[in-house]
Structure 1
Amino acid sequence: MFEFAHLRCFVAVAEELHFGRAARRLNMTQPPLSRQIQLLEHLLEAKLFERSHRRVALTPSGRTFLPEARRLLQLAEGAAMSIRRVSGGDVGAVTIGFTAASGYGFLPDVFQRLRARLPGVDVALREAVTSAQLDALANGRIDIGLVRPPVRHAGLEFRIVLREPMIVALPPDHRLADRDRIDLVELGGDPLISYSPFEARYFHDLTLRLFSAAGAQPTIAQHVSQIHSVLALVRIGLGVALVPEAARQLHFEGVAYRELARAGETADLGAVWRSDNENPAAARALEIILGEG
């Protein structure tokens, strides 16, 4: 069977209709080019060129074979380019897990950057709590997770990608709503909409640590698992809450946001991935998420 080298030689001679020019175009000498054409004619059992001292012309067989030869070369070049793009991470698919709160600000920005820089990569998003994402990573169901720390799992890499302050969410008619900053000591007697110690353990613990650092004891009225549920309860006047800065982007009417008077721990978001993941598209996406690509 003929090889792609035979096709390249044939197409060059067919387009130049001159063995010398075709040889120069292919960066080879004329005798090897002539042998390649002769071998191709032998393999096809057909004469492709009429040769004389004055001219080279395609035979009917040559004219019929030329578009097929071009098509085969284009397919081969296209396949090689596709493989290079896949191995380079320019095309493919990547699945990213995310927590609900990361979807308010960080994830939309990252998703836009992924679409702009990796248009050939299909990005699938999967919302899940941190523990579920870590299981999905271990089982290969997602490539990258956006989770809350800490992450202490063998075979997983972790890096903080976002640190945002916690702020106070309260009804606009609250007695402290006219303040720019609020000390948590002043909220010790207010009913607090807090987070579930099970489904939202990270924010539950963070809220308690912030109150403890301020020397205040919160009066917890409700436990919920999602930040938008926290804001909904604040809006109807059931209490105040601590939420990450990105919660402002939910644009809840009837909720005012104020900064904390004392700087404290931030709400941290991290990227986590398997160190043995061989998906080139995931590697490229991770660079963008980490701000390195």
Structure 2
Amino acid sequence: MELRHLRYFVTLAEELHFGKAAEKLHIAQPPLSQQIRQLETELGFELFHRTKRKVELSEAGEVFLVEVQQIFRQLEQAIFLGRQVSRGEIGQLVVGFVSSAAYNILPNILQNTRNSIPNVSLELHELTTDEQLRWLQSGRIDVGFVRPPVDENTYESKVIFQESLAIALPQNHFLANQDRVSLQSLKNESFILFPRFLAPGLYDQIISFCQQVGFSPKVAQEAIQMQTIVSLVAAEIGVAIVPESLQNLRRTGVIYKYFVEKTPQVSIAIIWRKNDVSVVLDRFLEVF
């Protein structure tokens, strides 16, 4: 049994006239009659009652018609979904992001994705840059938002956001009333910083910024997540140089100040595996 045999049957069932059905199917009437008889033989029951004057569906034919029409509806749905998948309009992406991205680019990314490809679902994982590189290499995530630089031989990447640095201070710090803070005035402070291996690009920019004004920061405590760093500032463990968008993280006991000095521009990049052939990923990348 072939799909065309079922199409012949449905058309004849709708027309109940071999001549009209044959014309609609663009075939001659004798071959249509022959194909219907072959189908009945294969099925083992009669689909139509035929007389010289009319053609009628048998009781079995009426039941068979309902089921075959359901098959064609499912087939149309399968074709529709297949086309959506082939165009990257439906599917899932597993996405990693550094914690600070939640305070700048991530909300817009989620909104733009919903607007552009609403049937693509995103599975989000908050990860450090170092963790994202490992997860991306092992296939656990499809795309990430990291602090560059990254290995250009292994990954494709694109910088999508840049910002300046700011200083997070305890709210009762002696510099809290100043409009802007000179970095040099913090040379004797204890700093809270993350381990370098987690995001070496951002780490090196912070250290270099301090060295440009003549000191290396004294690290009192290390923490992995930006939220933890800010909480330690609130606990008066030290001060922290952070991306300026972290001001969107409202934390009692912490104030943020801009620097007098011009700060380096710190970036967030979107990153994915080289030669990734995912159509859904291609559609996602079009958002940027």
Question: CA offset at residue 56 of structure 1?
Answer: 2.8
Question: CA offset at residue 208 of structure 1?
Answer: 1.6
**Amino acid paired to 2:92:** A
Question: CA offset at residue 251 of structure 1?
Answer: 0.7
Say if 2:84 is the partner of 1:95: no
Structure 1 counterpart of 2:128? 129
Structure 2 counterpart of 1:220? 218
**Amino acid paired to 1:125:** L
TM-score by length of 1: 0.84
Rounded Cα–Cα distance in structure 2 between residues aligned with 1:129 and 1:268: 14
Of 138-147 and 126-135, deviating more is: 126-135
Structure 2 counterpart of 1:233? 232
Contact 2:96 2:125 in 1 (8 A): yes
Rounded Cα–Cα distance in structure 2 between residues aligned with 1:262 and 1:201: 22
Question: CA offset at residue 52 of structure 1?
Answer: 4.6
Rounded Cα–Cα distance in structure 2 between residues aligned with 1:200 and 1:131: 6
Structure 2 counterpart of 1:162? 161
- Count of residues in Structure 1 that have an aligned counterpart in Structure 2: 286
Q: Deviations over 1:213-232 (max 9, x none)?
A: 4x242542423232222212
Structure 2 counterpart of 1:111? 110
Contact 1:194 1:224 in 2 (8 A): yes
Q: Deviations over 1:169-209 (max 9, x none)?
A: 11233333333333323333333333333445333212122
Contact 2:95 2:123 in 1 (8 A): yes
Question: CA offset at residue 282 of structure 1?
Answer: 2.7
> How is 1:3-18 mapped onto 2 (pairs within 5 angstroms)?
3-18=2-17
> Percent identity over the alignment?
35
Rounded Cα–Cα distance in structure 2 between residues aligned with 1:199 and 1:152: 14
Structure 2 counterpart of 1:205? 204
Contact 2:129 2:199 in 1 (8 A): no
Structure 2 counterpart of 1:272? 271
**Stretches of structure 1 lacking an aligned partner (at least 5 in a row):** none
Q: Give the secondary-structure state (helix, strand or coil) at the position aligned to 2:76.
A: helix
Structure 2 counterpart of 1:61? 60
Q: Deviations over 1:86-134 (max 9, x none)?
A: 2222333321122222233323432343344444334222333223322
Structure 2 counterpart of 1:194? 193
Contact 1:185 1:216 in 2 (8 A): yes
Question: CA offset at residue 258 of structure 1?
Answer: 1.8
**Amino acid paired to 1:217:** F
**Amino acid paired to 2:227:** H
Question: CA offset at residue 157 of structure 1?
Answer: 0.7
Of 51-60 and 260-269, deviating more is: 51-60
TM-score by length of 2: 0.85
Contact 2:168 2:233 in 1 (8 A): yes
**Amino acid paired to 2:103:** Y
Contact 1:93 1:122 in 2 (8 A): yes
Contact 1:94 1:282 in 2 (8 A): yes
Say if 2:79 is the partner of 1:84: no
Contact 1:191 1:238 in 2 (8 A): yes
Rounded Cα–Cα distance in structure 2 between residues aligned with 1:130 and 1:248: 21
Rounded Cα–Cα distance in structure 1 between residues aligned with 2:218 and 2:101: 25
Contact 2:169 2:240 in 1 (8 A): yes
Q: Give the secondary-structure state (helix, strand or coil) at the position aligned to 1:134.
A: helix
**Stretches of structure 2 lacking an aligned partner (at least 5 in a row):** none
Taking structure 1 as reference, are residues 195 and 141 closer, same or farther at Cα in structure 2, changes over 3 Å only? Answer: closer
Rounded Cα–Cα distance in structure 2 between residues aligned with 1:88 and 1:75: 20
Contact 1:190 1:218 in 2 (8 A): no
Taking structure 1 as reference, are residues 179 and 57 closer, same or farther at Cα in structure 2, changes over 3 Å only? Answer: same
Taking structure 1 as reference, are residues 25 and 259 closer, same or farther at Cα in structure 2, changes over 3 Å only? Answer: farther
Rounded Cα–Cα distance in structure 1 between residues aligned with 2:70 and 2:274: 41
Taking structure 1 as reference, are residues 67 and 192 closer, same or farther at Cα in structure 2, changes over 3 Å only? Answer: same
Q: Give the secondary-structure state (helix, strand or coil) at the position aligned to 1:62.
A: helix
Taking structure 1 as reference, are residues 24 and 249 closer, same or farther at Cα in structure 2, changes over 3 Å only? Answer: farther
Contact 1:191 1:221 in 2 (8 A): yes
Q: Give the secondary-structure state (helix, strand or coil) at the position aligned to 2:196.
A: coil
| CA RMSD between the two structures | 2.6
Rounded Cα–Cα distance in structure 1 between residues aligned with 2:240 and 2:126: 23
Contact 1:4 1:73 in 2 (8 A): no
